[in-house]
Each structure stands twice: as C-alpha cells, then as structure tokens.
Amino acid sequence: MRFVLFALAPMMFFGCETTEDETGPVDMSEAFPVGGNSSWEFLNANATVSYTLIGSLAQDRTDESLYTIKYVKHCMAVDETCVEGELVRSLTLSNDANNGVLIHGTNDAGIETVYEPPLTMAAAEMYQSDQMITQTAGFTWTSTLVATEECPVVITGGIAEQCVRISLSDGGMGETNSGLVGEYWATAGYGIVAMDVASDEGRWELRDYAEGEDTL
C-alpha cells in the first residue's frame, strides 16, 4: 500500500492510499457518465417511504465541465408531509480522465455547500480498497472503492451489470454531512444506480432510467 499526499493550500489536501491487485485498475470515470439530459427514478427499499426520488441531470451554463444532478420527490401515496417536486438534494460533479470524479458542491434540503478544493469521489483509475482522501469544507473525507460487484438492482431487462461500490465518509462527524455520507453503486452507461445515504430511511434503488440527448 502506498500513500500520496498533494498539498493544495493551507489546511487543504487530498491524497490516496492504493493497493495494487492482480485484477488491474478499474476505470472509474466510465461509471459516472456525463452529458445529455438523463433522468433516473429511484424506489426506496423501505416500503414506508411514500415517494420515489426523481434525478435529473443538467449541464452548468457557466462552466461546461460541471454538471448537476437534482433529486426531487415524486409522491406515490396520500401523505400530507410529502411535497411534490421538493428538492431532497443535488450534487454538482465533474468527471474527466485526468482528475477522476470530483464533487464541487451539494444542496442538501436547501443547505448549500461548496467544496474548495473539490471532494474526490473517485480517481480516474482505482484498485479495490483504494482510498482517496480530501480535506475540504472543514472535514477530512475518505472515499473507498469497496468492490466491483454485481449491481444491487436489475438493469436492462434483467441482465446483471457490474457496479463499482464506493463508500464515502467524513470521519464520523455525526449528522453534519448526512446527506452525502454513505455508499454508492454506479455502472457504465447509467451512473449511480443505488445509494444508501446516512440521512435517508433506506437504500434508494434504480427503477427507471431515460437517456437524454447528449449536450456536451
């Protein structure tokens, strides 16, 4: 295992711990596709959750390297507490072959956070158990490639797809970043297909996906 630390500014750094294995590196950038106007619908594994989660992707109008996925509620049952179209959270990301997958900002139920430097969700290539460490926005974040495994949802007419499983931690700071801390499953062509986020009542699993026209 080796650890590399990159100094960016006082009290800000990112680095990685890597362990090479016989399977070779995983191309992480393929699992988080950018471009187009894609949309996702997620169903919660907890049957008591009264809404699905609708994700929509939009390109940033001022910086074409950034795109934002907004997740809003779609109410399924009679529930006075459910507000149709209410923003649950959003992620502003970038993805390229050199820098990997970076989180530049979040909006968690109206609370906006800007990450400067950006939070590294995944390097462009990673081996299983590799960790990317970023100190930003007052926390030390660790993103770990837990495994490459069969996706936890059925995709493309029942054909099993291989997912990368990412664990994202803020160092155990309780509920401060609970809208981002958790585990994510992603695969080429679809992006994030399941997410188990600390603040949510159960794991969100992809039910429907639509690929929009590529605008990038």
pLDDT reported for residue 212 = 64
What is d(CA 76, CA 144) in angstroms, rounded to the nearest whole number?
Answer: 34
pLDDT reported for residue 110 = 87
What is d(CA 28, CA 166) in angstroms, rounded to the nearest whole number?
Answer: 10
Q: Tokens at residue 156, please?
A: 């493309």
Contacts of 208 (CB under 8 A, 6+ apart): 40, 41
pLDDT reported for residue 161 = 82
4: which strand partners?
A: 16
Closest CA to 52 of 70, 75, 71, 84: 75
Stretch (H or E) spanning 122:
strand 111-122
**For the CA atoms of 172, 180, 185, 79, what is the dihedral angle to 10 degrees?**
120
- Angle CA 132–155–103, to nearest 5: 25
* Residue 160: exposure state from Cβ atoms within 10 A (0-12, 13-18, ≥19): exposed
What are the backbone angles phi and psi of residue 66, rounded to the nearest 5°? -105, 145
Per residue in 157-216, pLDDT (tens digit) is 667 689 999 999 998 765 667 789 999 999 988 999 999 999 899 999 999 988 765 433
Closest CA to 181 of 171, 191, 194: 171
> Is residue 125 within 8 Å of residue 27, measured between CB atoms?
yes
pTM of structure: 0.85
What are the backbone angles phi and psi of residue 43, rounded to the nearest 5°? -110, 135
Per residue in 34-69, pLDDT (tens digit) is 766 789 999 999 999 999 999 998 877 678 789 999
